Structure 1
Amino acid sequence: MTVGPGCYNHRMTPTPSLSELLSLIDERSAALRAAVDAAGALDVPVPGCPDWSLRELTIHLGEVQRFWSVVVADADPDGAPSHDRIPDPEPLGDLLTWSAESTRLLLDALTQAGPDRPCWTWWGPSGAPMTAAAVARHQVQEAAVHAFDAQEAIGKPEPLPSAAAIDGVAEFVQVGLGSEGAWPHDPARIAFAAAEGSSWPVELSAEGVRLDPTGGAAPLATVRAPASDLVLALYRRIPLDRVQVDGDRAVVERLLAWGDTE
């Protein structure tokens, strides 16, 4: 169904279950390692993270997974663990073996915790839950986007899996943008519409950035693309020209220029 700039159907899909999230973390982490292994060299530069090589990208994801394994195990919503509590935060032997162990530590911690265990998160002000399930949800995006980074580095980028990408749009808005605080520009509404059928109306205001499942007023702009391209555009991995923008392109450009996407 083709719709105009001021008319669209909004349909947000439910968040995947914890078991689905764990499978996606495992799969995307393995995809990153497969790309690194195929590169044949660890000093290959990563276009999506210009200051990093494949070695640094792999270490980053491993450190992140080890850190969050301790956060989830601690079940302490009041503070993050100190760095000295993170097990083997840097690889001493084979990099890919260490990376696989990093993923295992995270998956084990999340499995033992269950979805509702409270824990510290950096997105406290966003309104997103501070739970193990929310950590798992974000770690899907961490692994998925960095797997894309590794694949792009070897010249073989692949779309994000549909399940990761469709939830990734909502997760980016709720956590990545929702934790940034007040929208610093004029209030606005933007809609993201995936080719797979899901769509997400987003409210930008002095109260912050939030999903608005009621739909509300017509958006100033609607961004249309396969869900993978929407996520990659939000993380600034692909240019805005790769997606379709109906309506006020400038407000979309301001949104994509705002916030941290590492």
Structure 2
Amino acid sequence: MIKNYLKIAWRNLWKNKGYSMLNIFGLAIGITCAAMILLWVEDEVGYDANFDKQDVVFYVPTNQQYEGEWRTFHSTPGPLAEVLKEEVPGIVGAARTKEEDFLFQVGETAINKNGRYADPDFLSMFSLYFVEGNLETAFDDVDAIVISQKTATQLFGENNSAINKVIKINNEESYTVSGVYEDLPHNVTYSFDWVVPFERFAKDNEWVNEYDRNFADTFVELSPEANFDVVNSKVKAILPMKTEDDETIAFLFSMKDWHLRAAFEGGKNIGGQITYVRLFSLIALI
């Protein structure tokens, strides 16, 4: 019975070769496009999903008022992170960070790498998995540096330990490797190949403790039991209280939204990449 059905189907296809080829080719193109779109969508919605603390880690932007209009900025004053951790119940971790590009040199090998000065809480908030060294003691020394596996391999070779090796930075300073962490996937909002104690940057720049200098990326971690709305309201009150300026207000921005909902207008979130994800998902479905 099935054999007869197959014969009939083949005869019909062969009888209408042009029409059949058009249908088959169109179906193949449609399936291919839909599959590619869905793979892209999966990658987009999977941003930052590798971080274990995705539900409790937040970025801290600020809304600032200029000529009656609210605008959203990502840089914050240096003292903000410590104040949030000390004075806002529910916040159990906080870190200032500053992005930089370093020229690493070990012997004849020289490579450029992007990374961050950061406070110790940054390492645990981003769930870095150490393949060498220890997360708890990685920043015990102000001259320490933790690097990614890829960076360690490029500088010291594939099967060589990087721990306690010295890296020359920008032909000026030297750092000692205290840890090597597993490479981050490509779909993370904030990628970095190295992390250095923020204290190293702060000791030569006293202005980092001033509230009128917005330069740092601030991240905080909430306790699992914390009420987001309550904590966020207290965060919003911090800068006006410290600076007596009610035209600059910090707020919490969830890691889950960093990539897909990063667009702000008038001080309010208006979406972002999520619009294209929904649009292309609809196209793939059709």
Instruction: Judge same fold: TM > 0.5, yes or no.
Output: no
Larger Rg: 2
- TM-score of the superposition, structure 1-length normalised? 0.29
The structure richer in helix per residue is 1
The structure richer in strand per residue is 2
- TM-score of the superposition, structure 2-length normalised? 0.27
- Bigger relative contact order (CA 8 A; separation at least 6): 2
